[in-house]
Amino acid sequence: MLVREDFRTGNALMNEGRRQAEHHRIACFISPHGFGHAARAAAVMEALGSRYPSCHFDIFTTVPPQFFEDSLSVPYSLYPVTSDIGLVQKSAFVEDLDLTLERLNAFLPFDPDLVSDLSRTVIRNRCELILCDIAPLGIAVGRHCGVPTVLVENFTWDFIYGGYPSMAAAMGVHIDYLHRMFSAADHHIQTEPVCFRRKAGLIVGPISRRFRSNRAETRQRLRIPFSQKIVLVTTGGIPGSYRFLDRLASFREACFILPGSSRLTEFRDNTVLLPHHSDIYHPDLVNASDVVIGKAGYSTIAEVYSAGVPFGYVARKHSPESPGLVDFIDRNMDGIALGEEGFNSGRWVEKLPQLLSMPRQHQRRSNGSEEIAAYIGRLIEANETTAGTGRRESL
């Protein structure tokens, strides 16, 4: 049973039934921007748990608890802490830069009392290392309490904020602060698709959560025959209101699955509407599909790449992240670019015959989570991650 924790009072709340001899303990500060960072961090935690079954994770984030309940089999504690701002989204494809700036002004620089409180929690829990994806607060905590930090990223926020010319001047002080903070990480890992290449100790392939069920098992749960073509429509975990359902009914060659489109599971002719939190693991939906249609976000790209299915993708027009993501798709995956308006109106249905004719690919690179687990394992085994070795100067 997952229970939350108030880090200021130190009331430890863990998954009951998973209390083991904890030979290793790692703090994880995870950005709540979308679900891509949480998905990537969950994959890394699972890989570390396979290598060190007694490892326990202390997770600091405002990502909903249900996500970790669905994604993790390793022992963990969850601390509901605002670890990052990221970008405030108006919708899956549109960001709110003004509100982002307003929240950054309240969040940065970090409150010294917050950093001190979190540092005490990390030391009390005897954490050997702090893993950050891509929440900079974890780096500040590590510097304060002397616990080494590992930054995992395919971009950092100073790069993203600097890519919006209309806001770059207003965000200048935050960009400089975050650049110094990210540069202060003790170990730096980049994961493909990398959007801005920096000096890093390790560069790995795409990271995705492992599939749990095979295609036949997932299709059986969805009441879809194995011979039927499946098209998954996803906006990366952000619930959407789709205006193109009538167009889907006219395309009889496939069955469509739309996560986050209904409060309850609904079967409508050739369409399956699923709630935001359904009882079917989202990576298994990707694996069971013949085509995926949706936003070109990190976790979706990584899962589609791992499954080897064709991707009809929508890149956010003005996002500094998009060119790197699109370049990776073009070089490593089968797919077709779809415009935002074409997605919203359902005109992408016209592209389905071409997408459905593309063969399923075999994954060409191993899941990067395994490489990161091995890297962190070497740090642990080399005794480079002793907790509480001494306070360092804050940035």
* φ and ψ of 352, to 5 deg: -60, -40
Residue 6 has pLDDT above 60, yes or no: no
Split at pLDDT 50, 70, 90, the class of 2 is: very low
pLDDT in tens, 262-302: 888 999 989 999 988 888 999 999 999 999 999 999 999 99
Which residues does 211 contact at the CB level (< 8 Å), separation at least 6?
A: 283, 284, 286, 287, 306, 307
Residue 12 has pLDDT above 50, yes or no: no
Looking at the structure, do residues 189 and 53 belong to the same domain, yes or no?
A: yes
Looking at the structure, do residues 292 and 313 belong to the same domain, yes or no?
A: yes
Q: In angstroms, rounded to a whole number, what is the distance separating the alpha carbons of residues 186 and 386? A: 13
* φ and ψ of 394, to 5 deg: -75, 155
**Is 358 a domain residue?**
yes
Tokens of 372: 């990161």
CA count, 13 A, side-chain hemisphere, 128: 18
Looking at the structure, do residues 266 and 194 belong to the same domain, yes or no?
A: no
**pLDDT score of 52:** 93
pTM score, two decimals? Answer: 0.90
Q: How far is CA 67 from the centre of its chain?
A: 10
Total domain count for the chain? Answer: 2
- Per the DSSP assignment, residues forming a β-bridge with 161 are none
Residue 46 has pLDDT above 80, yes or no: yes
Angle (nearest 5°) at CA 174 between 32 and 182: 65
**pLDDT score of 184:** 98
* φ and ψ of 258, to 5 deg: -125, 90
pLDDT in tens, 311-357: 999 998 889 999 999 999 999 999 999 999 899 899 999 999 999 99
Looking at the structure, do residues 219 and 132 belong to the same domain, yes or no?
A: no
Q: In angstroms, rounded to a whole number, what is the distance separating the alpha carbons of residues 296 and 338? A: 10
Alpha helices in the chain (DSSP H): 36-51, 65-71, 97-107, 112-124, 137-145, 157-162, 165-168, 172-183, 215-221, 245-249, 282-288, 298-307, 322-332, 340-345, 352-356, 368-381
Split at pLDDT 50, 70, 90, the class of 395 is: low
Looking at the structure, do residues 198 and 254 belong to the same domain, yes or no?
A: no
Tokens of 51: 């290598």
pLDDT in tens, 116-174: 999 999 999 999 999 999 999 999 999 999 999 999 999 999 999 999 998 888 999 99
Split at pLDDT 50, 70, 90, the class of 61 is: very high
Looking at the structure, do residues 196 and 224 belong to the same domain, yes or no?
A: no
Return the CATH number at 38.
3.40.50.2000
Q: In angstroms, rounded to a whole number, what is the distance separating the alpha carbons of residues 235 and 313? A: 10
Return the percentage of the chain with pLDDT > 70, whole number: 89
Split at pLDDT 50, 70, 90, the class of 1 is: very low
The answer to whether 380 and 128 have CB atoms below 8 angstroms apart is yes
pLDDT in tens, 226-267: 999 999 999 876 655 678 888 999 999 999 999 988 888 999
Burial class (CB in 10 A: 0-12, 13-18, 19+), 126: middle
Looking at the structure, do residues 279 and 236 belong to the same domain, yes or no?
A: yes
Query: What distance, in Å, lies between the first and last C-alpha atoms of the chain?
Result: 38
**Is 18 a domain residue?**
no
Looking at the structure, do residues 221 and 145 belong to the same domain, yes or no?
A: no
Range of the domain at 301: 215-365
**pLDDT score of 386:** 45
**pLDDT score of 16:** 33
Looking at the structure, do residues 328 and 316 belong to the same domain, yes or no?
A: yes
Q: In angstroms, rounded to a whole number, what is the distance separating the alpha carbons of residues 298 and 231? A: 19
Nearest to 289 by CA among 266, 306, 275, 277: 306
